[in-house]
Amino acid sequence: MMKFLKLKPSVGLLSIPYSLIFIFFFFIPLILTFIISFWDYNEYSIIPDFIFENYAYIFKDCLNFEKDICVTFKTYLSTFIFCFITWFFTLIIGFFVAYFLAFYVNSITWQIVLFLLCTIPFWTSNVIRMISWIPLLGRNGLVNDFLLSTGLADAPQEWLLYSGFSIVLAFVHLYTLFMIVPIFNSMMRIDKSIIEAAYDNGANGLQILWNIIIPLCKPGIVIGSIFVITVVMGDFITIGIMGGQQIPSIGKIIYVEMSYLQLPAAAANAVILLALTLLIIWIMTKMIDIRKEL
Amino acid sequence: MSKKINKKISRRNFLKSSTALAGAAVGSGLITGFPAIHASGTPTIRYLGTAVNMGSEPEKKLFEDTGIKIKYISKTTDEVVKTILTQPNSFDIVDSEYFSMPKLVPSGSLLGMDTNRIKEWSNVVTAFTEGKVNGKTIGDQGTAPKKVLYLKGPKSKEFTSEPSRYVTLIPTVYNADTLGIRPDLIKRPISTWAELLNPEFKGKASILNIPSIGIMDAAMVVEAMGEYKYPDKGNMTKEEIDLTMKIFTEAKKAGQFRAFWSDFNESVNLMASGEVVIQSMWSPAITAVRTKGIPCVYQPLKEGYRAWAAGFGLPSTTKGRQADICYEFINWYLSGWVGAYLNRQGYYSAVIPTAKKYMEAYEWDYWMMGKPATADIMSPEGKKLASKGEVRDGGSYEARMGGVACWNATMDENKYMVRKWNEMIAS
């Protein structure tokens, strides 16, 4: 706080444009979403009110344990599972790709070339990237053709497409780069002499990885994880296309409610989704103080 | 050389003349929000609708015939409704479905359309105006157009069943929908909606994930299976919605569906790739699969068709010259060329006699009369749709439209239905 007060006034002025953008396009809409989540609605309009019906409906039947698990919990559970699996695979793959780029590729030129190579999938729209899995994984797709012709399977494997498997595959394909970038960035900041010192003191490769590189990469890992988790939590397009519209996601529920102009119900769902996502990020930032590490 | 000079100064001239025109427009009180008639002088219409009817050929033909330019704003069915309600100044004319009217009319966002300004009004098919095809009353469960066509007055928010001068939408296009099948993969005749949930097609069926349309297909299936007979499929009670969704939830859990689709192109991919062999489908999707050389049939079923109908409406802020241009466009739309274009895609034009003038006799016989083709049938884009000797699925106009059982619908319990539908998807 003291530090802030000592800042020159010009620094404060510099922060005004961003603050304004933040207030008008983020903070105010968010407050409006929160307010509208307590409103009532009909077919064609939203009605100012203060009701808890929108929230009550979301958790209706959720405390009745004799029945099946309620739709809301089921949907969140499935979203969390996708989130965790995607996070796990993007982290493992992302970490080792970044590790390879940072420590095994010695010339800057090659680092840049290989790094750009990683971004190539982002040159096409993400819908196209998803749809291109269909001829590969479909019932008459390339993978099934291969399995059938080599006798590895005697019937087309249906779980390859429109399943949890295909959703995770698409997520990992789409979002691994979000892990690579911040982790690579963290790795490039590691002072090579620390590694040399460890080596000179007799540490083996595994010890260096575990005791030096991973701890120093934590900020990159946390930032990458925040990217991946927030994107997967709110996703409905990937789950929709790769899951054949049969697998629920909170994003899809919000989207359907919005397209039927049930805006207060959508707002209530959005508030809950936001609260849960913030909770996850809060827990992650508890594990590591990003501000300090940066 | 002189051309070059012209080009150089044209920008300045343009600025001058457009400022003058803009001034004139302000003076005449034309500017209301974002007016359609831009200062440049070329009449332009911002046409909001689903992509289904937005071809480039009609756009070109319109400009040739009338000098009016079209700017398409393409959205999904639900988004069109949302746009009308939330951004009424973002378009000049809207192509909407009649089943949206119970949502739109009470909000007062659409203008009552004056039928006296429509040249061909007396020729609009009776399917819209009376709910009859060639004198025979057709199914009217759901939001049948005749229920939501007439308004009590130009600014009325209420429907009337009596024919009146003012209507909600000027009818343009409609069709009878049914299930699409892959005859080469099913290899046996299909004659009832109940086949959608037949375990024989486990993992190879699909239904569309647009609640207000999907629920009607679901209801056709439930009735065909003999599970329940709805007093009105298009206006279910909460119990009836529960029952319908229960049957579909069980089928979904048992793995009946390969996928659900919400976008027209998804349905084409599912069918063309063989992932699905029986599903709810729209007519142009069948055409799209067929033009790839893959057999696909729009199977007529004994319980009848689920019909839909669309038309043109204007936002309630429309005034003056803007309205004139829109009416001119609608009159052109109904004058035959577009009608023939729509008929050749497998839809039906709202004004049949004018469309007939623009179709060849053999085309008319195939599309409208249900007779075997005497020559190859081409799509408007020039791709082959059917060979000589083939008959249109479902036959003649009278057989298809006469066989309508219900219409796409907005129910009184719409809110509840959408929630239950979401639960089915989540189950």
ipTM of the complex: 0.71
Pick the residue from chain A with its C-alpha nearest to B104: A44
Rg (CA), chain A: 24
Q: What whole-number distance in Å separates Cα of residue B73 and Cα of residue B161? A: 32
Instruction: State both tokens at B91.
Output: 């378009």
Are B277 and B293 in the same domain? Answer: yes
A224 domain-assigned: yes
Distance from CA of A260 to the nearest CA of B (A): 7
Neighbours of A159 (CB within 10 A): 10
Distance from CA of B423 to the nearest CA of A (A): 6
Question: Number of folded domains in chain B?
Answer: 3
Question: Number of folded domains in chain A?
Answer: 1
pLDDT digit string, tens, across residues B95-124: 999 999 988 999 889 999 999 999 999 999
Are B159 and B191 in the same domain? Answer: no
Are B282 and B332 in the same domain? Answer: no
B320 domain-assigned: yes
CA neighbor of A246 nearest in space, from B186, B203, B223: B203
B154 domain-assigned: yes
Task: Determine the residue among A40, A44, A60 to mutate to test chain B binding: the one whose Cβ has the most chain B Cβ atoms within 10 Å.
Answer: A44
Q: The domain containing residue B117 runs over which residues?
A: 32-173+308-355
Are B168 and B280 in the same domain? Answer: no
Cα-to-chain-centroid distance, residue A18: 25
Whether chain B has a CB inside 8 Å of the CB on A88: the answer is no
Q: Which residues of B224-236 are buried (b: 16+ CB within 10 A; e: fewer)?
A: bbeeeebeebbbb
B248 domain-assigned: yes
Residues B289/B271, Cβ–Cβ less than 8 Å? yes
Inter-chain touch A256–B418, beta carbons under 8 Å:
yes
Residues B110/B168, Cβ–Cβ less than 8 Å? yes
Inter-chain touch A244–B260, beta carbons under 8 Å:
yes
Inter-chain touch A162–B252, beta carbons under 8 Å:
no
pLDDT of chain A along its 294 residues, tens only?
445 555 566 777 888 899 999 999 999 999 999 999 999 988 778 889 899 988 988 888 777 766 677 888 888 899 999 999 999 999 999 999 999 999 888 888 998 899 888 888 778 877 777 778 888 888 888 898 899 989 888 888 888 888 899 999 999 988 999 999 999 999 998 888 998 999 899 888 889 999 889 989 988 999 999 999 999 998 888 888 888 888 888 888 888 888 778 889 899 999 999 999 999 989 888 877 666 666
A17 domain-assigned: no
Are B118 and B233 in the same domain? Answer: no
Task: Determine the residue among B206, B275, B277, B427 to mutate to test chain A binding: the one whose Cβ has the most chain A Cβ atoms within 10 Å.
Answer: B275
Pick the residue from chain A with its C-alpha nearest to B419: A257
pLDDT digit string, tens, across residues A190-227: 888 998 999 899 888 889 999 889 989 988 999 999 99
Chain A residues 260-279 with CB within 8 Å of chain B: 260-262
- First and final CA of chain B: distance in angstroms? 72
A126 domain-assigned: yes
Q: What 3 state SS string does A14-71 have?
A: HCHHHHHHHHHHHHHHHHHHHHHCCCEECCCCEECCCCCHHHHHHCCCCCCCCCCCCH
Whether chain B has a CB inside 8 Å of the CB on A60: the answer is no
CATH number for the domain spanning B193: value is: 3.40.190.10
Task: Determine the residue among A246, A253, A255 to mutate to test chain B binding: the one whose Cβ has the most chain B Cβ atoms within 10 Å.
Answer: A246
In chain A, residues with a C-beta closer than 8 Å to the C-beta of B79 are 259
B364 domain-assigned: no
Tell me the residue type at B295: P
Reported as type and span, the H/E element at residue B238 is helix B238-253
pLDDT digit string, tens, across residues B8-28: 444 444 444 444 444 444 444
Are B68 and B91 in the same domain? Answer: yes
- First and final CA of chain A: distance in angstroms? 19
Are B267 and B336 in the same domain? Answer: no
Three-state SS for B312?
strand
pLDDT, averaged across chain A = 86
In chain A, residues with a C-beta closer than 8 Å to the C-beta of B201 are none
B73 domain-assigned: yes
Percent helix, strand and coil across chain A, each to the nearest 5 = 75, 0, 25
Distance from CA of B362 to the nearest CA of A (A): 38
A11 domain-assigned: no
pLDDT, averaged across chain B = 86
Q: What whole-number distance in Å separates Cα of residue B378 and Cα of residue B374? A: 12
For A259, which of B82, B102, B103 is closest by C-beta distance?
Answer: B82
The contacts of residue A248 (CB under 8 Å, 6+ apart) are A71, A74, A75, A78, A239, B422, B425, B426
A182 domain-assigned: yes
B368 domain-assigned: no
Task: Determine the residue among B78, B209, B250, B419 to mutate to test chain A binding: the one whose Cβ has the most chain A Cβ atoms within 10 Å.
Answer: B419
* Paired sense of beta strands B348-349 and B305-313, if any: unpaired
- Residues facing residue B142 across a β-bridge: none
Neighbours of B255 (CB within 10 A): 13
Are B114 and B231 in the same domain? Answer: no
Q: The domain containing residue A260 runs over which residues?
A: 67-293
Are B48 and B156 in the same domain? Answer: yes
Residues B420/B242, Cβ–Cβ less than 8 Å? yes
A234 domain-assigned: yes
Distance from CA of A173 to the nearest CA of B (A): 21
Residues B348/B364, Cβ–Cβ less than 8 Å? no
For A134, which of B85, B257, B273 is closest by C-beta distance?
Answer: B273
Percent helix, strand and coil across chain B, each to the nearest 5 = 45, 20, 35
A26 domain-assigned: no
CATH number for the domain spanning A262: value is: 1.10.3720.10
For A162, which of B82, B107, B259 is closest by C-beta distance?
Answer: B259
pLDDT, averaged in runs of 10, over chain B (427 residues): 41 43 42 44 88 82 92 86 89 93 90 93 92 90 93 90 93 94 94 95 91 92 94 93 95 92 84 92 87 91 93 90 93 94 90 94 94 90 86 92 92 87 82
CA neighbor of A144 nearest in space, from A162, A161, A156, A131: A156
The contacts of residue A261 (CB under 8 Å, 6+ apart) are A41, A43, A44, A45, A46, B81, B82, B85, B103
Are B8 and B108 in the same domain? Answer: no
Q: What 3 state SS string does A86-104 have?
A: HHHHHHHHHHHHHHHHHHH
Q: Quick one: CA dihedral B382, B385, B390, B392, positive or negative?
A: negative
Are B219 and B273 in the same domain? Answer: yes
In chain A, residues with a C-beta closer than 8 Å to the C-beta of B275 are 138-140, 161-162
In chain B, residues with a C-beta closer than 8 Å to the C-beta of A259 are 76, 78-79, 82
In chain B, residues with a C-beta closer than 8 Å to the C-beta of A75 are 426
pLDDT digit string, tens, across residues A63-112: 776 667 788 888 889 999 999 999 999 999 999 999 999 988 888 899 88
Are B9 and B120 in the same domain? Answer: no
A10 domain-assigned: no
Inter-chain touch A261–B418, beta carbons under 8 Å:
no
Distance from CA of A219 to the nearest CA of B (A): 36
Inter-chain touch A44–B104, beta carbons under 8 Å:
yes
Total count of residues recorded for chain B: 427
Instruction: State both tokens at A29.
Output: 């809409």
Q: Where are the beta strands (DSSP E) in B43-186?
A: 44-49, 69-74, 93-97, 113-114, 132-133, 136-137, 166-167, 170-177, 179-181
Q: Residue A132: its pLDDT value, please?
A: 82
B370 domain-assigned: no
Tell me the residue type at B347: Y
- Residues facing residue B406 across a β-bridge: B141, B306
B23 domain-assigned: yes
The contacts of residue A154 (CB under 8 Å, 6+ apart) are A148
